[in-house]
Structure 1
């Protein structure tokens, strides 16, 4: 999609569709409130938009769309009046949803070009960024394995209306929005690839290719190197698979003069999870290709950070393998030794993510990184607790926790703080090892985090359990499949730390 800025008068812009916005007045007021651009268009059309609001035909509710054919009165053939809901509740996330709904609506109408006007309620740069993200995220599809997609016409060109005075500000918003959306869609591609294609080796290859394109440093450890490092968790999980493991390191050096290693991002990269010997039920196992959603988020975030170039050092760590049942698979009752020397008693082989994360967290902490943030589709328990709306946030540092919540708010991604009280640690004490792999069904997402806490040493650390948010079966504002959740939050966090 080609997105650019125009400074033409609103009535003269030539495109298939001109899009203006309206809000619903607060309180008991009737009718609708129009943006300044919508007011100009309404006057050219003889007041038809206000009439539709007064009659109740159009109420300005969030996502509501009113189509008006201009019949030659304006250069565009059609005007879309899009509702933003209550005027005092318009936020960047409102415009992301608006952008996604616009592009999906256009797909069904055959429009190939559109002009967007500025809503008066938000900063113009912020608005341009959010709308760009919404357009590109809403336009995303994954159809590479279909011979005939039967797709409707795609929206090919979008222009943002700006004045000469604010043109640069709009262009800055578009640039940032495009970097964040492109990186998110790259992560979605990784999650949506079938597991026979996206093996651990292929995931490492794609991370390496992205690193070359965006100027990142990249190292990929093969099985021999992983054995040399004594990453017992990663080796234990992978031993049942014919696919070899990989450990990927991506480095962005935005502050080369700094002596501090900087921020570490760790992503769980199980490219397919059968559950191993503790085999999962067959129903919906095909979605277990998404068990590398944390790895995809870290790789995507590193792309966004490299594109936006904040003055901060960030390193991504991705342990990746398959969890398969076979005669060589690891078993309940086994004891694995992690890179930092601690041992884990295996209770259920379907709790494999914490094992490969333990090695990666140990590696990052031994290298001196702080803070360390890991993302993982880790537990069904967090889905029971928070559903598909929020991700669980566990942290040993209140300041870091608040930074992540604020970055998520800026990105339109929600996190809920979860407990890490010492009493939960009693549930993962082992009789035969340093720690037990699971603490049972009760508080399962919390005990999983308590296990990870054993491997971060004294670093500031946060664990994001994205099991409910990394994959969607409900294509409301987004295509079914991978969501790329976490990419934009991590990028916003890096930008805020650079400031």
Structure 2
């Protein structure tokens, strides 16, 4: 997707679709007198015929309008409300993007001053890019090597600014929107890939590719190296698979001082989760390829940080494995020793995400981080609590949690805080180890976070449970690219 922000309006510029935002006035054409005159009163006719009233989100299309070099003239209503919040702006622009896609337009010019007047240039510019990015995304099912050369033309999106003073702000906001779109696209592509393609080794290769293209420092630890570090918990999960586990580290060094404390993102990378010996029911087990969406969101956020050249240090850590039943796989009742030295009784082998995350969190200590956020499709319980709309957030530092919640509100990638208290930690008591890997049937999302809290006592930490938001819901059987927006906004705000 190619984005342009221009100060000069050119009504004779060739485009598949010219979009004009309009307020509901007695004479809507007065807002776009030049366009109305060029088209011999087309906007007047839209209003007098009753086809268009400029209600919020209303759309009306004129095909091949006379006097313009446009395939369609598309009128967009912004409604009568004095002020529009970010959520409403996004809803209006998503409807516009959907209509443009239905028209099969490959280039769009947008004059959105009527919408900007009800919001602001930064919000409209960013949300325009993100909305069109979401509607333009398409997953190509074949593995990358079999796709061949890209044949579809690049989609071109242009927005006009009436005021040159708006230009710098609009361009910056569009760049943020495009970086988030690119990060979401990477996360979606990785999430949508089948498990026999997107393996731990494949994720490692993608990290190295990202490192080469965006000047990231990338390191991949083998099982032998993890064994030497004492990562018995992580390695216990991969024992039932022929695919070797990987610990992937990606570093964006954007701060002026290389030693500035980084913000660390830790993403659960279960490229396929059959549940192990505690095997899952067969229905919908194919969706367990999405159990690496936490890792995918880390890839996407690191990419966005690199594209925006954020002046901070960011470290992405991805513990990656498969969880399959095998003669060597974890068994219920087994006890493993984590990198921290704490022992864990495995009561359910399907609670494996926390087993790989805990060693990755301990590994994060060596960076002396400013903050650590782990992201995981960790519990089905979070879907019961919050549905597919909102991610769950917990942690040991209220400031980090508040910053994450604020980032979610600004990016429209919402999260909601759940409590971590000692009363919940009691559910993890084990007679045979320091703690058990599950806390029983109640408060599953909270006890999972409580488990991780035992490995985060040396830094400021928050946990995002994205099991309900990473795929499914209104997206159907598709990855959504969340939590790339909330993580990217969190990193932007740290600048």
TM-score under structure 2 normalisation? Answer: 0.91
Q: Which runs of 5+ in 1 are unaligned?
A: 25-30
Give 3-state SS (helix, strand or coil) of 2:467's partner.
coil
- Contact (CA 8 Å) 2:29, 2:43: kept in 1 or not? no
- Contact (CA 8 Å) 1:106, 1:155: kept in 2 or not? no
In structure 2, C-alpha distance between the alignment counterparts of 1:15 and 1:55, rounded to whole Å: 26
Aligned match of 2:357: 357
Give 3-state SS (helix, strand or coil) of 1:375's partner.
strand
Aligned match of 2:72: 78
Aligned match of 1:156: 155
- Larger mean Cα displacement after TM superposition, 85-94 or 263-272: 85-94
Which of residues 108, 114, 121 in structure 2 aligns to 1:114?
108
In structure 1, C-alpha distance between the alignment counterparts of 2:273 and 2:50, rounded to whole Å: 52
Give the aligned CA root-mean-square deviation in angstroms.
Answer: 2.7
Deviation digits for residues 98-152 of structure 1 (CA, Å, limit 9, x no counterpart): 444434333332322210113322322332122112212210001242999xxx9
| Structure-to-structure mapping, 1:40-189, within 5 angstroms | 40-42=34-36, 45=39, 49=43, 57-58=51-52, 60=54, 62-69=56-63, 71-84=65-78, 87-88=81-82, 90-118=84-112, 119-120=115-116, 121-145=118-142, 156-163=155-162, 165=164, 166-189=166-189
Q: Which runs of 5+ in 2 are unaligned?
A: none
Aligned match of 1:441: 441
User: What displacement does 1:448 show?
Assistant: 0.5
| Structure-to-structure mapping, 1:82-481, within 5 angstroms | 82-84=76-78, 87-88=81-82, 90-118=84-112, 119-120=115-116, 121-145=118-142, 156-163=155-162, 165=164, 166-257=166-257, 259-472=259-472, 474-475=474-475, 481=478
Closer/same/farther in 2, CA of residues 287 and 34 from structure 1, 3 Å limit: farther
Closer/same/farther in 2, CA of residues 89 and 448 from structure 1, 3 Å limit: farther
TM-score under structure 1 normalisation? Answer: 0.90
Deviation digits for residues 398-448 of structure 1 (CA, Å, limit 9, x no counterpart): 211111111112211100111112111111111111111111121100010
- Larger mean Cα displacement after TM superposition, 127-136 or 106-115: 106-115
- Contact (CA 8 Å) 1:93, 1:130: kept in 2 or not? no
In structure 1, C-alpha distance between the alignment counterparts of 2:351 and 2:314, rounded to whole Å: 28
In structure 2, C-alpha distance between the alignment counterparts of 1:216 and 1:78, rounded to whole Å: 43
User: What displacement does 1:230 show?
Assistant: 1.1
Closer/same/farther in 2, CA of residues 174 and 480 from structure 1, 3 Å limit: farther
User: What displacement does 1:296 show?
Assistant: 0.5
Give 3-state SS (helix, strand or coil) of 2:363's partner.
helix
In structure 2, C-alpha distance between the alignment counterparts of 1:221 and 1:155, rounded to whole Å: 37
Deviation digits for residues 317-357 of structure 1 (CA, Å, limit 9, x no counterpart): 10000000111110110111111011111111111001101
How many residues are treated as equivalent by the alignment? 487
Closer/same/farther in 2, CA of residues 61 and 334 from structure 1, 3 Å limit: farther
- Larger mean Cα displacement after TM superposition, 170-179 or 315-324: 170-179
- Larger mean Cα displacement after TM superposition, 102-111 or 230-239: 102-111
